[in-house]
Amino acid sequence: MGEYRCRLGVHFLALAGWVVVGVLSVGRWLVLYGCKGGIVSKVFVNISLSLDGYLAPEGMTMENWDRPEYMDWGAKWGALMGWALNQAYLREKLGIGPGGETGPVNDLVRHTFQRTGAHIMGKRMFDGGERGWPEEAPFHTPVYVLTHQQREPWVRPGGTTFYFINEGPKRALELARQAASGRDIRISGGADVIQQYLNLGVVDELEIALVPVLFGGGRRLFEHLREPLARFRIDQVLGTPAATHLRYVRA
Ligand SMILES: NC(=O)c1ccc[n+]([C@@H]2O[C@H](COP(=O)([O-])OP(=O)(O)OC[C@H]3O[C@@H](n4cnc5c(N)ncnc54)[C@H](OP(=O)(O)O)[C@@H]3O)[C@@H](O)[C@H]2O)c1
């Protein structure tokens, strides 16, 4: 009987030890990954891409902002973004007006906005947006703008504040992680900034709306990439006549 009790005690101690090790490992994991409330922020890209791989057409620069006919950039940009501007959720966010599709693509767009706790973008994307976004900018989170320009934060109605970051992409990501409180971080663009985060190896998901238009030139997404290249696998494909919605996750 004494021997039986002793064995039981040993088993109990082993089990207790195993539980303690487990709890410590989980705690260490939470601390390591900066997790709040048990959820780890994902870093994702969500963009529209021309069939020949451009994020923006040639000629779409601030100098030509008021001349959309220059190199036909306005029509090309419209063709790239047409599918998005036709979604009910985005129409409401951008104040375009009622109507629009309410199907599975609209659900994707809504999910993208709702999952995002912070945005990161480049100064050229910001410059265009500063001219084009409505007063209530369509982010509703902190937005970290990578730039060499020094500028005070720009607070917009509706919860969007733009912070201008001069300390590089790692620092912007650190600030975005703190601000996102476990929600996801969207690398909004443009190409220059997405390439920097791909090169840092921190992009968990790539969401691409591949639009059947050819630009022939412009801001190419996949260039200036360094070894070791990020590796992805296909997670989801949603085909529509206006765009193929591709979702890749880190392999
Ligand atoms: N198709 C889409 O879904 C999509 C999405 C987003 C954007 N876009 C388009 O993409 C175009 C812009 O892309 P882009 O590649 O030309 O430019 P970008 O990535 O938006 O911005 C690049 C600029 O950001 C600043 N910057 C970037 N990294 C920096 C760093 N580490 N430190 C300091 N400053 C840094 C620099 O500007 P300064 O030196 O002047 O500060 C740089 O010239 C726009 O036409 C935009 O509309 C398209």
Task: Name the residue range of residue 234's domain.
Answer: 39-250
* Residue in this structure with the two tokens 């706790």, named with its chain if needed: 117
- 56 ligand 1 Cβ < 6 A: yes
Residues 68 and 139 in one domain: yes
Same domain, 116 and 25: no
Instruction: Answer yes or no: do 53 and 91 share one domain.
Output: yes
Residues 78 and 95 in one domain: yes
* Residue 219, ligand 1, Cβ within 6 A: yes
For tokens 């969500």, the residue is: 46
Shortest CA distance to 165 belongs to which of 185, 182, 151?
151
The identity of residue 147, as a single letter, is T
Question: Do 162 and 147 meet the contact criterion of CB atoms below 8 Å apart?
Answer: no
Q: Which helix (H) or strand (E) holds 85?
A: helix 73-85
pLDDT tens track, the chain, 251 positions: 445 454 544 454 444 544 444 443 444 344 334 444 457 899 999 999 999 999 999 999 999 999 999 999 999 999 999 999 999 999 998 888 899 999 999 999 999 999 999 999 999 999 999 999 999 999 999 999 999 999 999 999 999 999 999 999 999 999 999 999 999 999 999 999 999 999 999 999 999 999 999 999 999 999 999 999 999 999 999 999 999 999 999 99
**Main-chain phi, psi angles of 117, to 5 degrees:** -105, -10
How remote is the CA of residue 146 from the centroid of ligand 1, in Å?
Answer: 8
State if pTM tops 0.85.
yes
Residues 194 and 85 occupy one common structural domain:
yes
Same domain, 26 and 139: no
* Residue among 147, 163, 175, 197 whose CB has most ligand 1 atoms within 8 A, to mutate: 147
Q: How many CB atoms lie within 10 A of CB 115?
A: 16
My answer on whether 3 and 46 are in the same domain is no
Q: What's the structural domain count of the chain?
A: 2
105 pocket-lining for ligand 1 (C-beta < 6 Å): no
Same structural domain, 69 and 97: yes
- Ligand 1 center–CA 127 separation, angstroms: 9
Whether residues 48 and 152 share a domain: the answer is yes
Q: Quick one: 87 and 9 in the same domain?
A: no
Considering the domain architecture, whether residues 8 and 50 belong to the same structural domain is answered as no
pLDDT at 21 (0 to 100): 40
